[in-house]
Structure 1
Amino acid sequence: MSSRFLRTAIVLGLLSAIGPFAIDMYLPALPTIGADLQAETSAVQMSLLAFFISMGLAQLFIGPLSDMMGRKLPLYGGLVLFAIGSIGCALAGDIDTLVAFRFLQGIGASAGMVIPRAIVRDLHTGVDAARLMSLLMLVFSISPILAPLTGTAIIAFFGWRGVFWAVLIAALIGMVLLATSLKETRPKSARVESSLGSALAAYAFLLKDFNFLVLTFIGGLGLSSFLVYLANSSFVLIDHYGLTPTQYSIAFSINAVSFFSVSQLSGWLAGRFGLVRVVRMAVAGYAAAMTLLLLVMMAGFQSLPVMAIFLFVGYGFLGLVLPTTAVLALEEHGEIAGTASALMGTLQFVAAAVAMGIAGAFFDGTALPMIAGIAACAIGAFLLTLLSLGRRRGAAATEIPAEMPAE
């Protein structure tokens, strides 16, 4: 593995992680924010939901812009908006102001979500793209490991507002990395045909591409299941199971370790079995683990260790689902990689927002509604995989070109 390959993965992973860092550091503070701003749980959760909605919808504009203007300039713009949103959140005096600036923050974070995937597609396809995507997720996964613990420490010394000053610093560091460590991967010659009209045409084309949509929603349902956990876990683990914020941060981090550790096998497994077979196996494993967890908890076994074990196993499988479905979805769309990545991200985050809203509506303070939401998403991903990525098609798709020259 070349040093350039690794450096690219690190920079892209850190840029991708800035937005999620603003989520994961923030989770231990949700109960505190509600008490401080005198807001109900649903209102505090809305500040999280607003971030996801804006981050999902803004990708529709950021992706085509990156096709038309290159990858770096929209990344700079996103980081600036994210920084402004962070300052607004830190100074918010009521829950409505916090929600508004979280919405702005999400718009800025969208650039870090959509453009790195497009850059991966600019540089590689097939197995090499899977390797780079898995390395990117390795760096990306630093966020759910370190962020909750860091957030807990910051909250202890500076209060919940300190979290937003910390992510402001992260955005400034991202700007420095972007300026010094990442070259433009979409040359001017590739932008000639890119315009608003071509972006609209590309969206129309992608919405008719069954393969793209299937892979997008398989990954999207996997992401939705994780975000249902993310939105509810602090209330369940802290308020219901009685964990301290520090203990909650550790429990949250353990699942991230499972996710990113197994995700590093995606390149090797793809080279040995093919990307489609890896997707089928990973989705089946994830659905089995989450369904079994739901059945066990419905039978009355609702202890925290039982839930933690099943989640650890399940998120390991999820670590294979997300990078492989993303690589396959973008495989045949190199000329419109930014637009394709944007539509994929938007559809996935809208699906996740719907799942979070439904799970939140049934939240009763216990773990069961959260686990039911996770299992429903996992089962949906499995059924979609079963109906669309059949064995005949999977066998034909196992031979994926290893790499397309980027220069």
Structure 2
Amino acid sequence: MHGVTARPDTLRDSPAPVSKTLLLLLVTMTGLAPMSLYMLVPALPVLAADFSRDISIAQMTVSLYMVGLACSQIVMGPLSDRFGRRPVLLAGFCLMIAASLGCMFAGTLPQLIAARFFQAVGGATGMVVSRAIIRDLYPRERVGAMISLVVAALMIGQMISPLAGGLLEHAFGWRSVFYAITAAAILVAIAIALRLPETRRARDSSSAAGFLDDARSLLSSRAFVGYMLCQVLASALIFTFAGAGPYVVVTQMGRSTVEYGAWFATSGIAYLIGNLCCVRYAPHHALDRLIWFGLALQLGGAVLNVVWGVAGLNQLPSWLFITHMLVMFGNAFVMSNSAAGAISVRPQAAGTASGAMGFLQMGFGSLCSQFGAFLGGHFATPVPLNIAILALSLACASTMLFLVPRRSVVATEALMEQAEEETGLL
């Protein structure tokens, strides 16, 4: 046995708080890809006219961007477990910078669509690796609170990104959106190179064997599958409601798009407040208890919306959205803490766990968004949407009830980390 040497996970085990600069960097890394998605949306009609193409073709700059976000995470997460967080992040943001430059100088719409796909592949690295870094830096009981803190800050950025994109397009044209994205990606890459320490703990396994072992271990864990499905189904609830919302409010209820935007903002505000409350209370309560608290609010709000629908009351936006705010407040607790649970089952494979979760979240979420649009556009009442939200809430609770073991997850992780400590001293 040799002398004890410093290991990369000592920062995570330390009670000292992580610097505000590092937290800001995590928020920026996480938010740049989704903010880049929303910044271009207001410019889509102008972009379609500029290239003399149908708006449905221009929409592919958004839809294939989401495909890029999903595909990237399933690859970048395991790579960060094998090669480290910093090199994968730097490679991802270099790809985002190159693709953003391609967007700036795209001469045809297909070129722009292809560049947007690779922009998403590079940018999504920040989304998946930031969750793994949080798990590297914090013990299991703190991860949910820190994810909520990052999401709360991210929500503010996402709320203003469409406005920022619209202002840039109006003042300087749609290409200026990519000037801003490129500049932001360059600044983030520089910050990663200068200020982000390597947080991944050392590993001895080879690339292929390490990935296969991680994937096999995670997929054979009921706890991981349960937490992951809980998080994915909770996010599917958001995608479904967002896909149906415009049709329900504008088409079914006969309200303006401006009124829809105002009412939809209440859902984002409720989700933001839920994340802030999670930051406040997560350090003092068990992770599973916080998930069940959120699930109870989700189910309660979903049941009320079905009741209002059957009674014919939620033909008014106020009845629909006020109870949906309760759903979204609870959803914030479910999303952040189930994500924390998933990446904590096997801490040394946090990148692989985060990538699998992000891939399923984006992939299944895009399907749910289309399903929500079908429910809103093919019915004259919000009741089918209300039933779908209730079904997703029940499925979300079922994953916790039937898949996540009681009291064994923390003990299993403690034994695993103890074994890793002993191995690291040999």
Q: Of the two, which has the highest radius of gyration? A: 2
1:175 aligns with 2:164: no
**In 1, distance between residues paired with 2:170 and 2:381?**
26
**CA deviation profile, 1:286-327 (whole Å, cap 9, x unmatched):** 233234335535636333333332333322211111110111
CA contact 2:233–2:395 (8 Å) conserved in 1: yes
Following superposition, the deviation at residue 395 of structure 1 comes to 9.8
Distance verdict in 2 for CA 1:363–1:39, change over 3 Å:
farther
- SS for the counterpart of 2:322 is helix
Distance verdict in 2 for CA 1:238–1:285, change over 3 Å:
same
**In 2, distance between residues paired with 1:197 and 1:398?**
26
- SS for the counterpart of 2:18 is helix
Distance verdict in 2 for CA 1:203–1:293, change over 3 Å:
same
**CA deviation profile, 1:244-272 (whole Å, cap 9, x unmatched):** 4xx76665554333223221332543444
1:25 aligns with 2:26: no
1:39 aligns with 2:86: no
CA contact 2:345–2:409 (8 Å) conserved in 1: no
CA contact 2:84–2:200 (8 Å) conserved in 1: yes
Match of 1:120 in 2: 134
CA contact 2:90–2:189 (8 Å) conserved in 1: yes
Identical pairs, percent? 25
**In 1, distance between residues paired with 2:222 and 2:330?**
24
1:204 aligns with 2:216: yes
Match of 1:322 in 2: 335
Following superposition, the deviation at residue 389 of structure 1 comes to 4.7
Match of 2:83 in 1: 69
Distance verdict in 2 for CA 1:324–1:82, change over 3 Å:
same
Match of 1:155 in 2: 169
Q: Which moved more, 1:225-234 or 1:47-56?
A: 225-234
- SS for the counterpart of 1:265 is helix
CA contact 2:344–2:413 (8 Å) conserved in 1: no
Q: Which moved more, 1:94-103 or 1:59-68?
A: 94-103
Give the length in aligned residue pairs. Answer: 398
RMSD: 3.5
1:277 aligns with 2:289: yes
- Counterpart selection for 1:219 from 231, 249, 253: 231
Runs (5+) with no aligned partner, structure 1? none
Distance verdict in 2 for CA 1:215–1:3, change over 3 Å:
closer
Following superposition, the deviation at residue 19 of structure 1 comes to 0.9
Following superposition, the deviation at residue 279 of structure 1 comes to 0.6
1:358 aligns with 2:371: yes
CA contact 1:28–1:248 (8 Å) conserved in 2: no
- SS for the counterpart of 1:4 is coil
- SS for the counterpart of 2:314 is coil
- Counterpart selection for 1:13 from 27, 30, 45: 27
**In 2, distance between residues paired with 1:63 and 1:394?**
28
**In 2, distance between residues paired with 1:269 and 1:316?**
14
Amino acid at match of 2:255: Y
**In 2, distance between residues paired with 1:24 and 1:367?**
29
CA contact 1:5–1:132 (8 Å) conserved in 2: no
CA contact 1:224–1:348 (8 Å) conserved in 2: yes
Following superposition, the deviation at residue 282 of structure 1 comes to 0.3
Distance verdict in 2 for CA 1:387–1:169, change over 3 Å:
same
**In 1, distance between residues paired with 2:46 and 2:228?**
36
1:144 aligns with 2:175: no
Distance verdict in 2 for CA 1:397–1:192, change over 3 Å:
closer
Following superposition, the deviation at residue 375 of structure 1 comes to 4.7
Calculate the TM-score normalised by the size of structure 1: 0.83
